[in-house]
Amino acid sequence: MYTLHRLDVSKHLFFPSSAAAAAEAAPNKISILPWLPAPAMRFEPSPTTIWDAGRLEMFTLVSPRSCEDRILCSNTLGHASLYNADSGCIQTMPPLSGGKGFMPMAVSIVARPGAREEEDLYVMNTSVGGGGIGMPSLDDLRNNPSCFDVLRQVGGGGWVLPFDGAAEYVPELKLWMGFSSTDSQQLCAWDLSGVAKDDKPPTLEHSWRDLETPKEWSPSRISLINLGKGWFCIAKTFRAVSEAGRLSLDSVDSVEDKFAVLTGIEMVTDGQEGLKMIRHKFIRYMFTNEMVRWVL
């Protein structure tokens, strides 16, 4: 069973202003979130005679730039349904073009430049050789800077996209933000304008490390959520691995704790530094009988 919880990020992850965040005496203090809010909804997989085929493997916002209430979920066979968190209604949806496997990637793209409320949602299989639905081409990217082909190499010069997973296009910054494929703890901002014009590799403009963690904290999942107005939430799932475990091949028995850390950050433009990251609040939620699988 999966449960949906709605967290007030303005209260838990952000100070009233960027000045208040900068003046915080303990900028790297991680607060403990003792419990999640009461579930707003519960989801159960549909019964099936095919082993492991009914498992729910995707929850994503349909229109993250304009609405946080419509949630699309699907199982490994591609059967989909739409849940409206405000009205509490569930609507069956046409199936996806085939099953997308384990932990598929969903990317929302603005349908037309300047039309922020019109978004296209692409769902892709993230396994090697997996198929997704039709993705934008390089010509689409030239006409719309918020489109790109996530799975395939974009350029013809032997380079690949530098993102670890999906990246988020920020129109007001005209940059792509995501985590580096060479260092999954490094938050970066890239300029892809050269890709659209001359098929050149992305240019790294800025990089930050949002959170310094102990060496025994091993990240297993990282995601970046654009909250609008320069606010972002970084969601990281960690496993605390013992010293003996890090030196052993038995990675299962060496895990002492599993938990999630949510970080609120704000991106502001500075005349001297250009783009600047301001850390707000950090909260940690320990897993007991459940764990955080998706942050929307």
Comparing 32-36, 156-160, 197-201, 214-218, the range with the smallest average pLDDT is 156-160
Q: Which of 199, 201, 119 minimizes the C-alpha distance to 190?
A: 201
Confidence at 246, pLDDT banded by 50, 70, 90: low
Report pLDDT digits (tens) over 136-145: 444 444 454 4
* Look-up of token digits 């960027």: 18
Dist. CA 242–CA 139, nearest whole Å: 49
Q: Is 150 left (phi over 0), alpha (psi -120 to 50) or beta?
A: alpha
Strand order in the sheet with 217-228: 30-32, 274-286, 255-270, 231-241, 217-228
Q: Which of 34, 29, 40 minimizes the C-alpha distance to 3?
A: 40
Report pLDDT digits (tens) over 24-34: 767 678 999 99
Report pLDDT digits (tens) over 84-122: 988 889 888 888 877 777 777 777 766 665 555 567 777
pTM of the model: 0.80
Alpha-carbon radius of gyration of the chain: 20
* Tokens read off for 262: 């949510």
Collect all residues with Cβ–Cβ distance below 8 Å to 235 and sequence separation of at least 6: 221, 222, 223, 224, 225, 260, 261, 262, 263, 292, 295
* 7-23 mean pLDDT: 90
Report pLDDT digits (tens) over 53-73: 667 778 888 877 777 888 988
Dist. CA 64–CA 71, nearest whole Å: 9
Report pLDDT digits (tens) over 152-194: 344 445 567 788 777 787 877 888 888 988 888 899 998 877 7
Confidence at 14, pLDDT banded by 50, 70, 90: very high
* Tokens read off for 140: 């689409």
Q: Which of 221, 224, 228, 157 minimizes the C-alpha distance to 190?
A: 224
**Model pLDDT, residue 142:** 43
Q: Which of 210, 132, 199, 139 minimizes the C-alpha distance to 177?
A: 210
